[in-house]
Structure 1
Amino acid sequence: MSADPRAALADLGLELPEVVPPVASYLPAVRSGQHVYVSGQLPVADGTLLATGKVGDAVSAEQARDLAQRCALNALAAVDSLVGLASVVRVVKLTGFVASAPGFTGQPGVINGASDLFGAVFGEAGRHARSAVGVAELPLDAPVEVEVVFEVA
């Protein structure tokens, strides 16, 4: 794991955003024991959903991969606000949802946007179990949503 996840983000040209406020009745993240469960994060920046529509139609797979990275960055902001980013021991499980046009089967490549960010920030501790699921619809017509479980110290 990188000794300083914030430095790793800076090396990537990224910084933690503000935590995205919930759009319904839930918390952005909850700690239970040594785990933080981050609620589904959408590709939101500065209060704005960055894209809408189905991947493989209105949204390209490459654009969706970047959006998945933004979802992961928002997840990092949520865990940071609760326990501090330096408390992360490892990324345990990532579940990625891709609003998919009929026939689109590239969900794993899309969710690599999130997986690769965790690897770049945490090194070996960023490697995780994962599911990449195609779905018909996501909240607010988002193309991608990511939820994450972190182990923390």
Structure 2
Amino acid sequence: MSGADPEGRLAELGLRLPEPARPLAAYVPAVRTGDHVYTAGQLPMVDGELAGTGKVGADVTPERAAELAAVCALNALAAVKAEIGALARVVRVVKVTGYIASAPGFTAQPAVLNGASELLGAVFGDRGRHARSAVGVPVLPLDAPVEVELIVEVE
């Protein structure tokens, strides 16, 4: 595997992987099938607590929502690592889907999801470049402002 170790990059960025978030319902945080890992949607949980609530564009600024999207991506990486043992086994981040709880008229969902995309790029370099969808929704679980899920290819 070429490139820097993703977990080393996280440390260089001053970040650490949290324990995988406990599911809120009847599902698992990540599932591997073949050479892909699919994560469940990850909320911006920090130390077991939701780091923010509300609608982006009303209660939450787009900038803060982008920070929370990065937290979601970090939580998704924790779920991936729990499934495969080490982030160095990630060949490529394939797809990122972000759900943004949006106030009426808010249309900058892609800018919010950049928080997750930029984190993945910083951690994986070119292997972190991915396809993605940024979807505005009226409400998310626990009134979270953002939720992110990943599909990654693994060795």
Common fold by TM > 0.5: yes
Partner-residue secondary structure (3-state), 2:18 = coil
Matches within 5 A, 1:80-119: 80-83=81-84, 84-119=86-121
| Counterparts of 2:89 and 2:130, CA distance in 1 | 17
Query: Are the aligned partners of 1:40 and 1:145 in contact in 2 as well (CA < 8 Å)?
Result: yes
| Counterparts of 1:140 and 1:91, CA distance in 2 | 27
Match of 1:132 among 131, 134, 141: 134
2:51 is the alignment partner of 1:50:
yes
| Counterparts of 2:68 and 2:55, CA distance in 1 | 12
Specify the code of the residue in structure 1 equivalent to 2:34: G
Match of 2:125 among 117, 123, 126: 123
Partner-residue secondary structure (3-state), 2:96 = strand
Specify the code of the residue in structure 2 equivalent to 1:121: V
Q: Which runs of 5 or more structure 2 residues have no equivalent in the other structure?
A: none
| Counterparts of 1:2 and 1:43, CA distance in 2 | 28
| Counterparts of 1:122 and 1:65, CA distance in 2 | 19
Would you say how many aligned residue pairs link Structure 1 and Structure 2?
153
| Counterparts of 1:51 and 1:35, CA distance in 2 | 30
Using the TM superposition, give the Cα deviation of residue 2 of structure 1 relative to its aligned residue in structure 2, in angstroms: 3.3
Query: Are the aligned partners of 1:2 and 1:121 in contact in 2 as well (CA < 8 Å)?
Result: no
Q: What is aligned with 1:4?
A: 5
- How well do the aligned residues superpose, as a CA RMSD in angstroms? 0.7
Scaled by the length of structure 2, what TM-score is found?
A: 0.97
Matches within 5 A, 1:23-62: 23-62=24-63
Partner-residue secondary structure (3-state), 1:31 = strand
Scaled by the length of structure 1, what TM-score is found?
A: 0.98
Q: What is aligned with 2:20?
A: 19
Q: Which runs of 5 or more structure 1 residues have no equivalent in the other structure?
A: none
Residue deviations 1:64-116 (CA, integer Å, cap 9, x gap): 00000000000000000110211100000000000000011110000000000
Query: Are the aligned partners of 1:98 and 1:144 in contact in 2 as well (CA < 8 Å)?
Result: yes
After TM superposition, which residue ranges in structure 1, 4 or more long, deviate above 4 angstroms? none
